[in-house]
Amino acid sequence: MAASPDLHVCPVTPALREAVLRLHARPEQDGFVSPPARTLADAEQCAGSEPMAILLDAMPIGYYRIEHSARSLTGLDDDADALGLRSFQLDAAWQGRGLAMPAMDVLLADLAQRHPQAHRLLLTVNCDNAAALALYRRAGFADSGTLYHGGRSGPQHLLWRALS
């Protein structure tokens, strides 16, 4: 019996950087998520941001950023004690294979291990991005009832989830 593939996350290292830069979502998702080629350099330069790779075995198949303060997403002082999630995405070649929810599970487990002081995780998702909104709801995120209007492609739901 073949071993099942190992899905895990880790910080983007110099050894992973080039492969992460090649990741991209489907063209119809370009309005919702910026590819690592546009955001990785910024994440690497920002002391409050952690660029992360989603790996299947040793191969990068996705990317996201963790912000040490969700205030960078929301602009609200009340969110200074929460982490923020940005740019969660699987490469177009790996979408539709049932990996998004397991990737979210390992992301959340990693946060619990590496950021035990964090009590909440916040993110914004475009109001027109039904697939992402459904994924985040399955992962236990709740809608705050507040819309964020600073998104490049229109208003976004502000979602949050308690962390253990």
Q: Convert the pLDDT of each residue in 75-128 to its tens digit.
A: 555 656 689 999 999 999 999 999 999 999 999 999 999 999 888 899 989 889
Question: Which whole-number Å values give the CA distances from 124 to 9, 12, 53, 106, 116, in the listed order?
Answer: 21, 22, 20, 20, 22
Q: Residue 89: which H helix or E strand, with range?
A: strand 83-90
Residue 2, pLDDT > 70, answer no
Please give the pLDDT value at position 136.
Answer: 96
User: What is the average pLDDT across 3-27?
Assistant: 91
Return d(Cα 85, Cα 70) in angstroms, integer.
Answer: 8
**Which one has a higher pLDDT value, 30 or 61?**
61
Q: What are phi and psi of 96, to 5 degrees?
A: 80, 15
**Average pLDDT for the chain:** 88
Q: Please give the residue that has the higher pLDDT: either 146 or 54.
A: 54
The whole-number pLDDT of residue 150 equals 64
The tens digit of pLDDT for each residue in 55-81 reads 999 999 999 999 987 666 665 556 566
Q: What percent of the chain has pLDDT over 70?
A: 85
The whole-number pLDDT of residue 77 equals: 57
| Contact yes or no for 7/55 (Cβ under 8 A) | yes
Rounded distance between C-alpha atoms, residue 39 and residue 32, angstroms = 13
Which pLDDT does position 28 carry in this prediction? 87
pLDDT reading at 139 higher than 80: yes
Which position has the higher pLDDT, 2 or 146?
146
Q: pLDDT at position 70, please?
A: 65
Distance between CA atoms of residues 109 and 127, nearest Å:
27
Sheet of 59-67, strand order: 7-11, 49-56, 59-67, 83-90, 120-126, 156-162, 142-148
Nearest Cα to 118, choosing from 82, 147, 143? Answer: 82
pLDDT band with cut points at 50, 70 and 90 for residue 3:
very low
